[in-house]
Amino acid sequence: MSQLKPMSHLENIPPTPGKLKMDKSLFTNRHRWHSSLTTLTFWSFVFLGLILLFFFRAPSPSPLPSDPSGRSSRTYNWGGPAWEKRARYSARVRSRNGISVLVTGAAGFVGTHVSTALKRRGDGVLGLDNFNDYYDPSLKRARQVHLERTGVFIVEGDINDSALLNKLFEVVAFTHVMHLAAQAGVRYAIENPSSYVHSNIAGLVNLLEVCKSANPQPAIVWASSSSVYGLNTKVPFSERDRTDQPASLYAATKKAGEEIAHTYNHIYGLSLTGLRFFTVYGPWGRPDMAYFFFTRDILRGKPIPIFKAPNHGTVARDFTYIDDIVKGCLAALDTAEKSTGSGGKKRGPAQLRIFNLGNTSPVPVSDLVSILERLLKVRAKRHSMKLPRNGDVQFTHANISLAQRELGYKPTTDLQTGLKKFVRWYLSYHSGGKMATG
């Protein structure tokens, strides 16, 4: 039977060490073996230490939870002591009775204005935005620069990232969340439906999951939309009207959001206020909205589509100036009652509200174009078209009596005055004055 050959370095080891006299070479070999083992152990510890240091100290690259749209499937870097310090500093309350607010969608149009207003009155504000490219992200970056100057830090990340949201609540005990992050726009849903599900449904649920488990639970104010009134013909739209005939996937996801809000209020005691915004416009606005791209195209001499409803009906919108919307948002935050749950459990009934925030004076889109022509001193090339059936509704008009009564909401800017401010900003921003203030 063939015997296994013992390994060479074990050959010289005596069965009972100490009973045999060791010769010099044996000693040297053992000594070398011991010292290489010590060296190996030492470097293993150093290596392990470095790995631990990397995980605990370095910013955590956070892979974005699956975004089927693929538009924002990026990784974000967050975490680490410097990052936490910035977040804490930005969210620090500086006024008596101030609140500390997590603003999602802070690099967006409404988010930028709301964050600025909160910061200016001494509230603590921390922004969150994934800077997706639904429209030119350089505009979002310019808003970010503007916010940084005001003292607002925007964390870069997605509302679907639970680890990030949990971390934010660990670093700051937010009293309120102003949730504005969403996939906006009605027509884009035909091209990229999954982006609406990702941000407006999955993202909302993820955010509410984190809020319900936070201690203390924050009060949440969030943006729904006038689009939930869908194909309704009774005007002005009141909060009591039906909202079960959405005309776009966008509207359907906002409506779903309102039902989801009801559930989290009912089960977990989260205080939830939904705001149905009506066509918001103003400086730092959204390039996918008609007033914005009409301005661009009039200046470029390009034809602009003016939609005609069936039977030559007028297409009109209840255009609402951004400063009025901001006042409504702040009033909603200030009147929001505390959530009643703790440790993820409801301890009593909590506030659940829905408000229209509009201007209550719908303007035909053709009048909007006439105002822009006067302000820009350029004649528009109007191209009349049938209203396509891809999500737009013919008419919006808000009944705002509930918001007036409960929030003291009172819009004060007419379309002429508001567009004048928008055009001034637009010209300044596009003439290289990218840091134009609103």
Q: Give the active site residues.
A: 250
Contact region for ligand NAD (CB under 6 A) — 46-54, 87-95, 181-189, 388-396?
A: 181-189
Q: How far is the CB of 139 from ligand NAD (least distance, A)?
A: 8
Residue from the set 118, 159, 375, 407 that interacts with ligand NAD by CB under 6 A: 159
The token pair that represents 399 in the structure block: 């009944």
Q: Which is nearer to ligand NAD, 11 or 191 (CB)?
A: 191
Is residue 323 at the binding interface for ligand NAD, with CB under 6 A as the rule?
no
Interface stretch with ligand NAD, choices 106-114, 165-173, 237-245, 380-388 (CB under 6 A): 106-114
* Alpha carbon 383 to its chain's center: 35
> Looking at 111, 124, 236, 362, which residue binds ligand NAD (CB under 6 A)?
111
Distance CA 181, CA 204 (A): 9
Give SS3 for 307: strand
Q: In whole angstroms, how close is the CB of 161 to ligand NAD at the nearest point?
A: 8
Q: What are residue 63's DSSP bridge partners?
A: 75
Q: Identify which range of 153-161, 229-237, 347-355, 416-424 contacts ligand NAD by CB under 6 A.
A: 153-161
Could you say whether residue 355 binds ligand NAD (CB under 6 A)? no
Q: Which of 91, 99, 101, 109 binds ligand NAD (CB under 6 A)?
A: 109
- 184 near ligand NAD, rule: CB under 6 A: yes
Say whether residue 155 binds ligand NAD (CB under 6 A).
Answer: no
How many whole angstroms separate alpha carbon 336 and alpha carbon 383?
A: 46
Continuous H helices in 94-198: 109-120, 137-150, 162-171, 188-191, 193-196
Count residues binding ligand NAD (CB under 6 A): 27
State in angstroms the smallest separation of the CB of 382 from ligand NAD.
23
For residue 364, what is the enclosing H or E element?
A: strand 363-364
Task: Give the shortest CB-62-to-ligand NAD separation in angstroms.
Answer: 12
Which residues neighbour 283 within 8 Å (Cβ) at sequence distance 6 or greater?
A: 322, 421, 422, 424, 425, 426, 436, 437, 438
Applying CB under 6 A, among 181, 363, 369, 398 the residue interacting with ligand NAD is: 181
- Using DSSP's 3-state secondary structure scheme, residue 150 falls into helix
Cβ closest to ligand NAD, residue 215 vs residue 417 = 417
**Contact between 153 and ligand NAD (CB under 6 A)?**
no
Does the protein bind ligand NAD through residue 375 (CB under 6 A)? no
The Cα–Cα gap between 341 and 344 comes to 6
Residues 120-149 that bind ligand NAD (CB under 6 A): 129-132, 140
Query: Which residues are CB-contacts of 93 (< 8 A; sequence separation ≥ 6)?
Result: 99, 100, 122, 123, 124
Q: Looking at beta carbons, which residue is closest to ligand NAD?
A: 108
Binding to ligand NAD in span 194-223, by CB under 6 A: 199, 203, 223
Determine how β-strand 124-129 pairs with β-strand 100-104: parallel
Select from 78-86, 174-182, 290-298, 365-373 the region that touches ligand NAD (CB under 6 A): 174-182
Output the CA–CA distances (angstroms, integers) from residue 33 to 7, 15, 183, 349, 432, in the order listed.
14, 18, 64, 71, 70
Q: Contact with ligand NAD (CB under 6 A): which of 103, 180, 204, 398? A: 180
Residue 277 CB, nearest approach to ligand NAD (Å): 4
Least separation, in Å, of the C-beta of 284 and ligand NAD? 9
Q: How far is the CB of 333 from ligand NAD (least distance, A)?
A: 15
Q: Compute the distance between CA of residue 123 and CA of residue 98 in angstroms, rounded to an integer.
A: 5
Per DSSP (E only), the strands in 165-287 are 176-179, 219-225, 272-277, 280-281
Non-local CB neighbours of 429 within 8 Å, separated by 6+ positions:
142, 436
The residue ranges that bind ligand NAD (CB under 6 A) are 105, 107-111, 129-132, 140, 158-160, 180-184, 199, 203, 223, 225, 277, 279-280, 286
